[in-house]
Protein backbone atom coordinates (compact mmCIF):
# COMPACT_ATOMS: atom_id res chain seq x y z
CA UNK A 1 0.00 0.00 0.00
CA UNK A 2 2.96 2.28 0.70
CA UNK A 3 4.24 1.80 -2.85
CA UNK A 4 0.76 2.47 -4.25
CA UNK A 5 0.68 5.84 -2.47
CA UNK A 6 4.41 6.63 -2.67
CA UNK A 7 6.12 9.51 -4.41
CA UNK A 8 6.39 7.73 -7.77
CA UNK A 9 2.74 6.71 -7.68
CA UNK A 10 1.66 10.27 -6.83
CA UNK A 11 3.71 11.67 -9.71
CA UNK A 12 2.13 9.20 -12.10
CA UNK A 13 -1.29 10.12 -10.76
CA UNK A 14 -0.47 13.78 -11.44
CA UNK A 15 0.59 12.83 -14.98
CA UNK A 16 -2.78 11.14 -15.55
CA UNK A 17 -4.66 14.12 -14.12
CA UNK A 18 -2.68 16.31 -16.54
CA UNK A 19 -3.85 14.10 -19.39
CA UNK A 20 -7.43 14.42 -18.19
CA UNK A 21 -7.14 18.21 -18.09
CA UNK A 22 -5.76 18.24 -21.65
CA UNK A 23 -8.53 15.91 -22.84
CA UNK A 24 -11.35 17.88 -21.23
CA UNK A 25 -11.72 20.49 -24.04
CA UNK A 26 -12.09 17.69 -26.60
CA UNK A 27 -14.70 15.96 -24.46
CA UNK A 28 -16.67 19.18 -23.88
CA UNK A 29 -16.66 19.95 -27.61
CA UNK A 30 -17.94 16.49 -28.55
CA UNK A 31 -20.51 16.48 -25.71
CA UNK A 32 -21.86 19.88 -26.74
CA UNK A 33 -22.34 18.77 -30.34
CA UNK A 34 -23.81 15.42 -29.29
CA UNK A 35 -26.48 17.03 -27.09
CA UNK A 36 -27.77 18.92 -30.11
CA UNK A 37 -28.93 15.61 -31.53
CA UNK A 38 -29.25 13.29 -28.50
CA UNK A 39 -31.27 13.78 -25.29
CA UNK A 40 -30.09 11.26 -22.66
CA UNK A 41 -32.70 9.82 -20.32
CA UNK A 42 -31.86 9.34 -16.68
CA UNK A 43 -28.49 8.71 -15.01
CA UNK A 44 -27.82 5.62 -17.13
CA UNK A 45 -28.26 7.65 -20.31
CA UNK A 46 -25.88 10.33 -19.02
CA UNK A 47 -23.21 7.70 -18.28
CA UNK A 48 -23.58 6.10 -21.73
CA UNK A 49 -23.38 9.48 -23.45
CA UNK A 50 -20.29 10.45 -21.46
CA UNK A 51 -18.40 7.32 -22.54
CA UNK A 52 -19.60 7.78 -26.11
CA UNK A 53 -18.26 11.35 -26.03
CA UNK A 54 -14.90 10.03 -24.83
CA UNK A 55 -14.75 7.53 -27.69
CA UNK A 56 -15.56 10.25 -30.21
CA UNK A 57 -12.96 12.61 -28.71
CA UNK A 58 -10.07 10.15 -29.14
CA UNK A 59 -9.79 10.60 -32.96
CA UNK A 60 -9.66 14.37 -32.47
CA UNK A 61 -6.84 13.91 -29.96
CA UNK A 62 -4.94 11.76 -32.47
CA UNK A 63 -5.37 14.37 -35.24
CA UNK A 64 -4.00 17.23 -33.15
CA UNK A 65 -1.06 15.11 -31.93
CA UNK A 66 0.65 15.24 -35.34
CA UNK A 67 2.25 18.61 -34.53
CA UNK A 68 5.93 18.16 -33.51
CA UNK A 69 5.55 20.32 -30.40
CA UNK A 70 3.08 17.79 -28.97
CA UNK A 71 5.68 15.03 -29.00
CA UNK A 72 8.26 17.30 -27.39
CA UNK A 73 5.91 18.32 -24.59
CA UNK A 74 4.71 14.76 -23.99
CA UNK A 75 8.29 13.44 -23.84
CA UNK A 76 9.28 16.18 -21.39
CA UNK A 77 6.29 15.48 -19.15
CA UNK A 78 6.93 11.72 -19.26
CA UNK A 79 10.58 12.18 -18.26
CA UNK A 80 9.60 14.46 -15.36
CA UNK A 81 6.49 12.77 -13.96
CA UNK A 82 6.77 9.16 -15.12
CA UNK A 83 10.52 8.97 -14.51
CA UNK A 84 11.15 7.36 -17.90
CA UNK A 85 14.69 8.02 -19.25
CA UNK A 86 13.72 8.95 -22.80
CA UNK A 87 16.71 9.66 -25.06
CA UNK A 88 14.91 12.13 -27.33
CA UNK A 89 11.52 13.25 -28.57
CA UNK A 90 9.67 10.91 -30.95
CA UNK A 91 10.17 11.36 -34.68
CA UNK A 92 7.17 9.22 -35.71
CA UNK A 93 3.86 11.11 -35.80
CA UNK A 94 1.94 7.84 -35.67
CA UNK A 95 3.60 6.80 -32.42
CA UNK A 96 3.06 10.27 -30.98
CA UNK A 97 -0.63 10.08 -31.88
CA UNK A 98 -0.99 6.65 -30.23
CA UNK A 99 0.70 7.92 -27.09
CA UNK A 100 -1.51 11.02 -26.90
CA UNK A 101 -4.66 8.93 -27.29
CA UNK A 102 -3.46 6.57 -24.54
CA UNK A 103 -2.38 9.35 -22.19
CA UNK A 104 -5.36 11.65 -22.60
CA UNK A 105 -7.91 8.81 -22.76
CA UNK A 106 -6.70 7.16 -19.57
CA UNK A 107 -6.19 10.58 -18.01
CA UNK A 108 -9.80 11.56 -18.62
CA UNK A 109 -11.02 8.33 -17.02
CA UNK A 110 -8.71 8.76 -14.02
CA UNK A 111 -9.63 12.42 -13.63
CA UNK A 112 -13.32 11.54 -13.68
CA UNK A 113 -12.81 8.75 -11.17
CA UNK A 114 -10.74 11.06 -8.95
CA UNK A 115 -13.66 13.49 -8.81
CA UNK A 116 -16.48 10.95 -8.44
CA UNK A 117 -15.12 8.11 -6.32
CA UNK A 118 -14.04 9.90 -3.11
CA UNK A 119 -17.59 11.18 -2.34
CA UNK A 120 -19.02 7.72 -3.11
CA UNK A 121 -16.49 6.02 -0.84
CA UNK A 122 -17.23 8.47 1.99
CA UNK A 123 -20.97 7.94 1.57
CA UNK A 124 -20.59 4.16 1.76
CA UNK A 125 -18.33 4.30 4.79
CA UNK A 126 -20.69 6.52 6.83
CA UNK A 127 -23.99 4.97 5.68
CA UNK A 128 -24.52 2.79 8.79
CA UNK A 129 -24.36 5.87 11.00
CA UNK A 130 -26.49 8.10 8.76
CA UNK A 131 -30.00 6.58 8.66
CA UNK A 132 -31.27 9.21 6.25
CA UNK A 133 -29.20 7.64 3.44
CA UNK A 134 -30.65 4.15 3.89
CA UNK A 135 -33.66 4.73 1.69
CA UNK A 136 -31.64 6.02 -1.22
CA UNK A 137 -29.53 2.88 -1.61
CA UNK A 138 -31.87 0.26 -0.17
CA UNK A 139 -30.87 -2.44 -2.69
CA UNK A 140 -28.06 -3.68 -0.40
CA UNK A 141 -27.82 -3.97 3.41
CA UNK A 142 -26.42 -1.04 5.38
CA UNK A 143 -23.82 -3.22 7.12
CA UNK A 144 -22.30 -4.07 3.72
CA UNK A 145 -21.74 -0.42 2.73
CA UNK A 146 -18.40 0.12 4.58
CA UNK A 147 -16.97 -3.05 3.01
CA UNK A 148 -18.03 -1.91 -0.45
CA UNK A 149 -16.53 1.52 0.23
CA UNK A 150 -13.20 0.00 1.23
CA UNK A 151 -13.17 -2.26 -1.85
CA UNK A 152 -14.02 0.71 -4.06
CA UNK A 153 -11.16 2.78 -2.56
CA UNK A 154 -8.63 -0.04 -3.03
CA UNK A 155 -9.87 -0.62 -6.59
CA UNK A 156 -9.49 3.09 -7.39
CA UNK A 157 -5.90 3.17 -6.11
CA UNK A 158 -5.04 -0.08 -7.92
CA UNK A 159 -6.62 1.18 -11.14
CA UNK A 160 -4.68 4.42 -11.05
CA UNK A 161 -1.47 2.51 -10.29
CA UNK A 162 -2.10 0.11 -13.18
CA UNK A 163 -2.76 3.00 -15.57
CA UNK A 164 0.48 4.68 -14.43
CA UNK A 165 2.50 1.49 -14.97
CA UNK A 166 0.94 1.03 -18.40
CA UNK A 167 1.98 4.53 -19.42
CA UNK A 168 5.49 4.10 -17.97
CA UNK A 169 5.99 0.89 -19.98
CA UNK A 170 4.48 2.36 -23.14
CA UNK A 171 6.56 5.55 -23.06
CA UNK A 172 9.88 4.12 -24.39
CA UNK A 173 8.43 2.38 -27.49
CA UNK A 174 5.99 5.20 -28.30
CA UNK A 175 7.88 8.34 -27.22
CA UNK A 176 11.48 7.18 -27.43
CA UNK A 177 13.50 6.54 -30.58
CA UNK A 178 12.66 3.44 -32.54
CA UNK A 179 15.22 0.83 -33.56
CA UNK A 180 15.56 2.58 -36.92
CA UNK A 181 16.09 5.93 -35.16
CA UNK A 182 18.79 4.43 -32.94
CA UNK A 183 20.50 2.84 -35.94
CA UNK A 184 20.41 6.13 -37.85
CA UNK A 185 21.83 7.99 -34.85
CA UNK A 186 24.58 5.39 -34.48
CA UNK A 187 25.45 5.63 -38.17
CA UNK A 188 25.56 9.43 -37.96
CA UNK A 189 27.84 9.20 -34.92
CA UNK A 190 30.13 6.78 -36.76
CA UNK A 191 30.27 9.15 -39.72
CA UNK A 192 31.23 12.03 -37.43
CA UNK A 193 33.91 9.95 -35.70
CA UNK A 194 35.30 8.79 -39.04
CA UNK A 195 35.47 12.38 -40.27
CA UNK A 196 37.20 13.50 -37.08
CA UNK A 197 39.72 10.66 -37.39
CA UNK A 198 40.35 11.56 -41.03
CA UNK A 199 41.00 15.21 -40.17
CA UNK A 200 43.25 14.14 -37.30
CA UNK A 201 45.28 11.99 -39.72
CA UNK A 202 45.54 14.87 -42.15
CA UNK A 203 46.82 17.24 -39.47
CA UNK A 204 49.21 14.68 -38.02
CA UNK A 205 50.73 13.72 -41.35
CA UNK A 206 50.99 17.17 -42.93
CA UNK A 207 51.84 19.42 -40.01
CA UNK A 208 53.79 16.71 -38.20
CA UNK A 209 56.03 16.17 -41.23
CA UNK A 210 56.66 19.91 -41.63
CA UNK A 211 57.48 20.33 -37.95
CA UNK A 212 59.93 17.42 -38.11
CA UNK A 213 61.73 19.05 -41.04
CA UNK A 214 61.71 22.46 -39.35
CA UNK A 215 63.04 21.03 -36.10
CA UNK A 216 65.94 19.24 -37.77
CA UNK A 217 66.85 22.21 -39.97
CA UNK A 218 66.62 24.70 -37.12
CA UNK A 219 68.88 22.56 -34.96
CA UNK A 220 71.40 22.17 -37.77
CA UNK A 221 71.36 25.88 -38.62
CA UNK A 222 71.86 26.85 -34.99
CA UNK A 223 74.91 24.60 -34.61
CA UNK A 224 76.73 25.67 -37.77
CA UNK A 225 75.61 29.31 -37.98
CA UNK A 226 79.13 30.63 -37.29
CA UNK A 227 81.18 27.81 -38.82
CA UNK A 228 79.20 27.30 -42.04
CA UNK A 229 76.95 30.28 -42.86
CA UNK A 230 76.17 28.90 -46.33
CA UNK A 231 74.72 25.72 -44.89
CA UNK A 232 72.79 27.75 -42.33
CA UNK A 233 71.23 29.81 -45.12
CA UNK A 234 70.22 26.61 -46.92
CA UNK A 235 68.66 25.29 -43.72
CA UNK A 236 66.72 28.50 -43.19
CA UNK A 237 65.45 28.30 -46.76
CA UNK A 238 64.33 24.74 -46.17
CA UNK A 239 62.54 25.87 -43.01
CA UNK A 240 60.74 28.54 -45.00
CA UNK A 241 59.68 26.05 -47.67
CA UNK A 242 58.51 23.52 -45.10
CA UNK A 243 56.52 26.15 -43.19
CA UNK A 244 54.91 27.41 -46.40
CA UNK A 245 53.91 23.89 -47.37
CA UNK A 246 52.53 23.25 -43.89
CA UNK A 247 50.43 26.40 -44.09
CA UNK A 248 49.01 25.31 -47.45
CA UNK A 249 48.06 21.89 -46.11
CA UNK A 250 46.68 23.40 -42.91
CA UNK A 251 44.51 25.66 -45.05
CA UNK A 252 43.20 22.56 -46.81
CA UNK A 253 42.27 20.85 -43.54
CA UNK A 254 40.66 23.99 -42.14
CA UNK A 255 38.70 24.33 -45.37
CA UNK A 256 37.18 20.92 -44.67
CA UNK A 257 36.06 22.16 -41.25
CA UNK A 258 34.46 25.36 -42.48
CA UNK A 259 30.70 25.46 -42.90
CA UNK A 260 30.53 28.63 -44.98
CA UNK A 261 30.69 26.77 -48.28
CA UNK A 262 34.25 27.91 -49.06
CA UNK A 263 36.07 25.30 -51.10
CA UNK A 264 39.31 24.12 -49.49
CA UNK A 265 42.59 24.10 -51.36
CA UNK A 266 43.25 20.83 -53.18
CA UNK A 267 45.12 18.24 -51.13
CA UNK A 268 48.54 17.04 -52.32
CA UNK A 269 48.92 13.71 -54.05
CA UNK A 270 51.69 11.67 -55.67
CA UNK A 271 52.12 14.30 -58.36
CA UNK A 272 53.60 16.43 -55.56
CA UNK A 273 55.96 13.65 -54.47
CA UNK A 274 59.00 15.53 -55.78
CA UNK A 275 58.31 18.41 -53.38
CA UNK A 276 58.07 16.00 -50.47
CA UNK A 277 61.35 14.34 -51.41
CA UNK A 278 63.11 17.68 -51.94
CA UNK A 279 62.01 18.83 -48.48
CA UNK A 280 63.39 15.63 -46.94
CA UNK A 281 66.66 16.03 -48.85
CA UNK A 282 66.88 19.65 -47.74
CA UNK A 283 66.61 18.36 -44.18
CA UNK A 284 69.73 16.31 -44.86
CA UNK A 285 68.20 12.94 -45.68
CA UNK A 286 69.44 10.82 -48.56
CA UNK A 287 66.29 9.73 -50.40
CA UNK A 288 66.12 7.43 -53.41
CA UNK A 289 62.76 7.34 -55.21
CA UNK A 290 61.34 4.95 -57.77
CA UNK A 291 57.70 5.81 -58.45
CA UNK A 292 55.08 4.73 -60.97
CA UNK A 293 52.27 7.25 -60.58
CA UNK A 294 50.61 7.15 -63.98
CA UNK A 295 46.80 6.80 -64.24
CA UNK A 296 46.14 6.49 -60.52
CA UNK A 297 42.70 7.27 -59.05
CA UNK A 298 42.71 10.56 -57.18
CA UNK A 299 41.83 9.08 -53.80
CA UNK A 300 44.52 6.40 -54.07
CA UNK A 301 47.10 8.99 -55.11
CA UNK A 302 46.25 11.21 -52.14
CA UNK A 303 46.40 8.43 -49.56
CA UNK A 304 49.63 7.04 -51.03
CA UNK A 305 51.18 10.50 -50.76
CA UNK A 306 50.28 10.65 -47.07
CA UNK A 307 51.75 7.20 -46.50
CA UNK A 308 55.05 8.23 -48.09
CA UNK A 309 54.98 11.46 -46.10
CA UNK A 310 54.57 9.63 -42.80
CA UNK A 311 57.31 7.17 -43.76
CA UNK A 312 59.75 9.99 -44.49
CA UNK A 313 58.75 11.75 -41.26
CA UNK A 314 59.55 8.63 -39.27
CA UNK A 315 62.87 8.28 -41.06
CA UNK A 316 63.82 11.89 -40.29
CA UNK A 317 62.80 11.58 -36.65
CA UNK A 318 64.25 8.16 -35.83
CA UNK A 319 66.98 7.44 -38.42
CA UNK A 320 68.24 10.84 -39.46
CA UNK A 321 71.59 9.61 -40.87
CA UNK A 322 70.24 6.58 -42.72
CA UNK A 323 69.50 6.56 -46.47
CA UNK A 324 65.84 6.16 -47.28
CA UNK A 325 64.38 4.26 -50.22
CA UNK A 326 60.87 5.08 -51.47
CA UNK A 327 59.28 2.64 -53.89
CA UNK A 328 55.84 3.23 -55.46
CA UNK A 329 54.82 0.63 -58.01
CA UNK A 330 51.70 -0.76 -59.66
CA UNK A 331 51.44 -4.51 -60.06
CA UNK A 332 48.77 -7.20 -60.01
CA UNK A 333 45.90 -4.73 -59.70
CA UNK A 334 47.23 -2.90 -56.66
CA UNK A 335 49.53 -0.05 -55.68
CA UNK A 336 52.40 -0.90 -53.35
CA UNK A 337 54.13 1.81 -51.34
CA UNK A 338 57.36 0.95 -49.54
CA UNK A 339 59.56 3.22 -47.40
CA UNK A 340 62.69 1.60 -45.99
CA UNK A 341 65.87 2.67 -44.23
CA UNK A 342 68.71 0.59 -42.80
CA UNK A 343 69.21 0.40 -39.05
CA UNK A 344 72.40 1.55 -37.42
CA UNK A 345 73.84 3.25 -40.50
CA UNK A 346 75.35 6.71 -40.26
CA UNK A 347 76.22 7.69 -43.78
CA UNK A 348 76.47 11.45 -43.53
CA UNK A 349 79.54 13.19 -42.12
CA UNK A 350 78.40 16.80 -42.59
CA UNK A 351 77.38 19.27 -39.95
CA UNK A 352 73.69 18.36 -39.65
CA UNK A 353 73.04 16.62 -36.35
CA UNK A 354 71.05 13.45 -36.51
CA UNK A 355 69.31 11.24 -34.03
CA UNK A 356 70.45 7.78 -33.26
CA UNK A 357 69.47 5.63 -36.24
CA UNK A 358 66.73 3.20 -35.40
CA UNK A 359 63.15 2.24 -35.89
CA UNK A 360 60.10 4.38 -35.11
CA UNK A 361 58.91 3.96 -31.57
CA UNK A 362 55.21 4.02 -32.39
CA UNK A 363 52.54 6.67 -32.02
CA UNK A 364 49.65 7.83 -34.14
CA UNK A 365 51.50 7.85 -37.46
CA UNK A 366 51.70 4.12 -38.09
CA UNK A 367 48.13 3.68 -36.87
CA UNK A 368 47.03 6.39 -39.30
CA UNK A 369 48.79 4.60 -42.16
CA UNK A 370 46.96 1.37 -41.39
CA UNK A 371 43.64 3.25 -41.24
CA UNK A 372 44.30 4.91 -44.60
CA UNK A 373 45.09 1.62 -46.25
CA UNK A 374 42.17 -0.23 -44.67
CA UNK A 375 39.68 2.46 -45.70
CA UNK A 376 40.58 1.71 -49.31
CA UNK A 377 40.45 -2.05 -48.81
CA UNK A 378 44.20 -2.47 -48.47
CA UNK A 379 46.73 -3.42 -45.81
CA UNK A 380 49.78 -1.86 -44.18
CA UNK A 381 52.58 -3.33 -42.10
CA UNK A 382 55.79 -2.08 -40.56
CA UNK A 383 58.75 -3.59 -38.77
CA UNK A 384 62.36 -4.64 -38.95
CA UNK A 385 63.31 -6.95 -41.81
CA UNK A 386 66.85 -7.94 -42.85
CA UNK A 387 68.46 -5.07 -40.96
CA UNK A 388 66.08 -2.44 -42.32
CA UNK A 389 63.08 -0.66 -40.95
CA UNK A 390 60.44 -1.22 -43.58
CA UNK A 391 57.02 0.33 -44.01
CA UNK A 392 54.87 -1.28 -46.69
CA UNK A 393 51.29 -0.56 -47.73
CA UNK A 394 49.22 -2.19 -50.45
CA UNK A 395 46.12 -0.48 -51.87
CA UNK A 396 43.93 -2.27 -54.44
CA UNK A 397 43.25 -0.35 -57.62
CA UNK A 398 39.67 -0.18 -58.96
pLDDT tens readout for residues 140-150: 677 788 888 88
DSSP letter at 78 equals: I
Euclidean distance between the first and the last CA atom of the chain, given in angstroms as a whole number: 71
Q: Is the pTM of this model over 0.85?
A: no
Half-sphere exposure of 170 (CA within 13 A, CB side): 17
pLDDT value, residue 67: 82
pLDDT at 354 over 50: no
Sequence length of the chain is 398
HEC readout, 366-388: HHHHHHHHHHCCCEEEEEEECCE
pLDDT at 198 over 80: no
256 pLDDT band, cuts 50/70/90, is low
Q: Say what percent of the chain tops pLDDT 90.
A: 20
pLDDT value, residue 26: 93
pLDDT at 136 over 70: no
pLDDT value, residue 363: 53
pLDDT value, residue 361: 46
pLDDT at 365 over 50: yes
The mean pLDDT of 101-124, rounded to a whole number, is 89
pLDDT value, residue 293: 84
pLDDT tens readout for residues 77-96: 888 888 887 766 556 788 88
Enclosing H/E stretch for 393: strand 388-396
Within 10 A of 174 (CB to CB), how many other CB atoms are there?
A: 25
* Domains detected in the chain: 7-177 (no CATH), 184-396 (3.30.565.10)
pLDDT top residue among 54 and 358: 54
- The alpha-carbon radius of gyration of the chain (Å, integer) is 39
Within 10 A of 356 (CB to CB), how many other CB atoms are there?
A: 10
pLDDT value, residue 294: 84
Q: What is the mean pLDDT of the chain?
A: 79
CB 26 within 8 A of CB 61: yes
239 pLDDT band, cuts 50/70/90, is confident
176 pLDDT band, cuts 50/70/90, is confident
CB 311 within 8 A of CB 319: no
pLDDT value, residue 349: 35
262 pLDDT band, cuts 50/70/90, is low
pLDDT tens readout for residues 4-55: 667 888 899 999 999 999 999 999 999 999 998 888 888 888 889 999 999 9
pLDDT tens readout for residues 283-313: 777 889 998 888 888 889 988 988 998 888 8
Amino acid sequence: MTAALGRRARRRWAFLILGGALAMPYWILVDTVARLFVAPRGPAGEIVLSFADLGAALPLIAVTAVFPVVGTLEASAARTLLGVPLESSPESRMRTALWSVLHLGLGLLVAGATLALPPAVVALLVRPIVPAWSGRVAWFPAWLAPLLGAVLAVAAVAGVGGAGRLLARSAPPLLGPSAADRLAALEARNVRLAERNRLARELHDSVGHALSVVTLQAGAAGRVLDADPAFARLALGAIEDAARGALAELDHVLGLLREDGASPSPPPDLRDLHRLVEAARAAGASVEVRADIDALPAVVSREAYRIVQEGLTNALKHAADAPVTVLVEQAHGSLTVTVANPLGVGHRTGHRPGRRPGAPTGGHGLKGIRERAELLGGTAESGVREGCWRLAARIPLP
